[in-house]
Chains A and B, each alone.
Chain A
């Protein structure tokens, strides 16, 4: 073959390859959104508190109730990342920080109507947030108020006119905006008793409740009066309650359902689904849920830092991820690391912290040394009961931990606690050591620290209390420079792990699965914040 002919052939092959590479990309270009169609989705249990998001922390309520409601602000449904830069207005058209982050002013949308036809005003905003922060003159009270601590820094909510609401803060807290952007923070109607949200939903959201057949399904229809013109795209939503996991997977595989449940699909399940239906679109993202060890620092032997550190050193996080999650999790400290989260400690920076040594055998040797210093050895083991919730995801992890602890002279027996008893037992501190899971709403340090590590917080199950750390929590919360805040957070997380306050074992990854005709359904960094469905459309 002559040189020129060879070059010609090469050019032709290159052209063909280039076209082949470009063609799929251009065919994948997102087409213009279409209106119409109904999206079918799954629930693993019925709505636990109806549509009353403010009275619960479970995704089983937040996910199916979000389409009915709106926040003042929300994380942009079309962006994966959740940060100050991706917060968009919902009921608030715009907002402004004033007085060095001590006043947050919201300018509300006009002509917004509740689903019962009543107009939305600043009165509804004041009603909701006075109720949430349990202001002395609040006109209503929630039966259960799990996120009261989120709003502890709000001194007053003022309404100078019908379309302006001012949040006056006790001290600067830029991250308040992130908590307001969470799916956990909808605005309730002032003219509807909060208890009514347990049975029905009067919202301003893109969809109106058509029917909630208990134990069967929740059905929504498009809100024709929605304040965002042209939205939602879908005519309706239907959430089917399917208790059996195998049936849920089969329904998704058969195309009866369009979308998986957030936090539901493990790596193994995703691989099986992909094998059965190759066209399914699977997106790994952070569940914002960690596996962790809770140790009661108020009770022996875990009041001894050496014993707590020994536990932390003993557990090989990477082996746990491989064995229990088949690789479907990542190591990290108190907050999920990049790219799964924003504030976490990167894997390279974890080196030197308990449990993150390069060689697990060295870590175990160190743990045995610490146990020996505390008066225990493999021959003279420490005998304790490890508690966990009687749910497979907890028990699997606890079983792995038991085996690890045995190798350093901690002889543990597993005690499974029924869900009905779990949180009550943990809050009371009626345990010595436990294998626990913790979910966080938005990917923000405040939402995590004040809830799970702050002195006196009911969800601080370890009862760890450190005034020095509390000051660091406040300092990072008030820090306006994101870089400085990130540095402070890395220091806090290293300190929490060094104190074995609540050793984090891993951050779980969900493999969110949708059929290819489902568009604009973009999982975020947290399972709790992307259920509005306003932008979702179907190409079916």
Chain B
């Protein structure tokens, strides 16, 4: 097990190194840079002034020097300075991380709480009216983009209650009730879509498992339905579900752009888009690396969970 984890971490490091090259290259391939944007806000361009600012920011240096400089900064724990805000990138990124992690975790929680039971019910009551109803419910979740649902929620609230959630981040210690409201609504909008996916995977996986011989044996032994389904069938059907949950969580870390924007939550994804528009290389590079790390770690966690759910899975041999 230990060997397996070490192996995976080494591979993760290599993946991150590869990612760093891709991120760095793609950013430089995008047309324009921070200096163009700065001049854009001023409405003119002066080549000599542009050169001076590029020198000041260090983006006039060869690309490989800039790349190695960035790697050195990561290793030494200094993430550089935001071009836009002229502040250490870490100071800007740090407050964004908990917002996105909390929103993603809550969304996944909603998704699992809604998706798994409905998937089980739908599988157990296959081809009944209830099954059809739940499938329509899940299809609707897949068909409705979460940003659209978010906007509908906002418009509904303002139309019927003349109220919308807070416009700035409310820390949990400051006002728990407002904090909860601020996160529950977007989490519901995002979680509904993810729950639809989880529900469908749970249903199909459970249907497959329920046709296995050992389930038939359990029924033949006269075990109660609840035991057969929840203890024997669902546990074995959970492998693909866990995989999907892991992928969804990783996706949500970077994929909450529109939800964070609609609900005005100061998270990683919304800020990342602004940073990309501003070509704020230090912030973009480090935020994308953060997302990459979360994706890698969540995949590792899912792989570890396989061993817990299925004793046949063994690591490190």
A214 CA to B81 CA in the complex, in Å? 14
Q: A214 near B85 (CB under 8 angstroms)?
A: yes
Least CB distance, B33 to chain A, in whole angstroms = 7
| A274 CA / B279 CA spacing, docked (Å) | 39
CB distance from B276 to the nearest CB of A (A): 10
Total B residues in contact with A, Cβ cutoff 8 Å: 46
CA distance A56 to B39 in the complex (A): 8
B45 and A427: CB pair below 8 A? yes
C-alpha spacing A57/B87, complex, angstroms: 22
Pick the residue among A49, A215, A217, A421 that contacts B41 (CB under 8 A).
A49
Asked if A254 contacts B162 (CB within 8 A), the reply is: yes
Check: B40 CB closer than 8 A to any chain A CB.
yes
Q: Is B266 an interface residue (CB 8 A)?
A: yes
Residues of A within 8 A of B263 (CB): 247
Is residue A113 within 8 Å, beta carbon to beta carbon, of the partner chain? Answer: no
Contact B155 A424 (CB under 8 A): no
Q: Does any Cβ of A come within 8 Å of B159's Cβ?
A: yes
What residues on A are CB-neighbors of B279 within 8 Å? 420
Q: Please determine whether B155 and A246 come into contact, CB atoms closer than 8 angstroms.
A: yes
Known contacts A418-B32, A423-B39: does B86 contact A246 (CB below 8 Å)? no
Enumerate chain B residues within 8 angstroms of A459, measured Cβ to Cβ.
43-44
- Which of A50, A199, A215, A419 touches B37 (beta carbons < 8 Å)? A419
Residue B23, interface by CB 8 Å: no
Assign chain A's interface to a size class: 35 or more
Query: Looking at the complex, which one of B56, B84, B154 makes contact with A250 (CB distance below 8 Å)?
Result: B154
Q: B151 contacts A198, CB within 8 Å?
A: no
Interface stretch, picked from B72-80, B164-172, B187-195, B217-225, is B164-172
Neighbouring B residues of A57 by C-beta, 8 Å: 41-43
Q: Which of A144, A198, A199, A419 has the most chain B CB atoms inside 10 A of its CB?
A: A144
User: Would you call A428 and B45 a contact (CB within 8 A)?
Assistant: yes
Q: Say yes or no: B85 contacts A246, CB within 8 Å.
A: no
Contact A144 B38, CB 8 Å, known A253-B158, A254-B164, A418-B31: yes
Give the CA-CA distance A263 to B87 in the complex, in Å. Answer: 30
Question: What residues on A are CB-neighbors of B56 within 8 Å?
Answer: 143
List residues 58-90 of chain B with CB under 8 A from any CB of chain A.
84-87
Tell yes or no: A243 within 8 A of B by CB: yes
Contact A276 B43 (CB under 8 A): no
Judge whether A144 and B42 touch: CB under 8 Å: yes
Cα–Cα distance between A254 and B168 once the two chains are bound (Å) = 15
Q: Do A56 and B42 have beta carbons less than 8 Å apart?
A: yes
Known contacts A46-B274, A48-B41, A420-B279: A247-B162 contact under CB 8 Å: no
CB-CB under 8 A from A349, the residues of chain B are none
User: Is A453 on the interface with B (CB-CB < 8 A)?
Assistant: no
- A215 and B46 contact, CB distance less than 8 A: no
Are A146 and B261 touching (Cβ within 8 A)? no
Q: What mask results when residues 220 to 264 of chain A are scored 1 for a CB within 8 Å of chain B, else 0?
A: 000000000000000000001011101100110111110000000
Are A244 and B44 in contact, with the CB atoms below 8 A?
no
B301 to chain A, nearest CB (A): 30
Alpha-carbon gap, A247 to B151, bound state (A): 8
B102 to chain A, nearest CB (A): 16
Count chain A CB atoms within 10 A of each CB in B86, B158, B274 and give the residue with the most: B158
Q: Which residues of A contact B39 (CB under 8 A)?
A: 144, 423-424
A146 touches B164 (CB 8 A): no
Contact residues in A for B43 (Cβ distance below 8 Å): 57, 146, 423, 459
In the complex, which of the residues B31, B46, B162, B167 contacts A242, with contact meaning CB atoms closer than 8 Å? Answer: B167
Within 8 Å of chain A (Cβ to Cβ): is B271? yes
Chain A residues with CB below 8 A from B46, complex form = 144, 458
B264 at the interface (CB under 8 A from A): yes
Query: A484 an interface residue at 8 Å Cβ cutoff?
Result: no
- Say if the beta carbon of A93 comes within 8 Å of chain B: no
The residue in B33, B49, B168 that gathers the most chain A C-beta atoms within 10 A of its C-beta is: B168
With A242-B167, A244-B261, A254-B164 already in contact, the answer to whether A419 and B155 are too (CB < 8 A) is no
- A283 CB-CB contact with B under 8 Å: no
**B45 pairs with A458, CB closer than 8 A:** yes
Which residue in chain A gives the minimum CB-CB distance to B156? A250
B41 to A61, Cβ gap below 8 A?
yes
Most buried by B among A58, A216, A420: A420
| Chain A window 294-310, contacts with chain B (Cβ cutoff 8 Å), 1 for yes, 0 for no | 00000000000000000
- Contact indicator A254/B163 (Cβ below 8 Å): yes
B32 and A243 contact, CB distance less than 8 A = no
Complex interface: chain A residues within 8 A of B261 (CB): 243-244, 247
Q: Complex Cα distance A217/B157, Å?
A: 23
- B303 / chain A contacts, CB cutoff of 8 Å: none
- Whether the Cβ atoms of B164 and A215 lie closer than 8 Å is no
Q: Tell me the complex Cα distance, A428–B261, Å.
A: 35
- Contact A240-B41, Cβ < 8 Å, known A418-B32, A420-B32: no
- Residue of B31, B158, B271 touching A420 (CB-CB under 8 A): B31
> Cβ of A422 < 8 Å from any Cβ of B?
yes
Q: Map CB proximity to B onto A415-440 as digits: 1 under 8 Å, 0 otherwise.
A: 00011111110011000000000000
Q: Mind listing 17 A-B residue pairs with CB under 8 Å?
A: A145-B49, A216-B266, A217-B168, A242-B167, A244-B262, A244-B264, A247-B154, A247-B164, A250-B154, A250-B164, A254-B157, A256-B164, A257-B167, A418-B32, A423-B40, A423-B45, A458-B44
17 additional A-B pairs beyond A45-B274, A55-B42, A143-B56, beta carbons within 8 Å, are: A50-B85, A56-B42, A60-B41, A144-B53, A146-B43, A198-B86, A199-B85, A215-B274, A216-B168, A243-B264, A253-B158, A254-B162, A418-B32, A420-B33, A422-B40, A423-B40, A459-B43
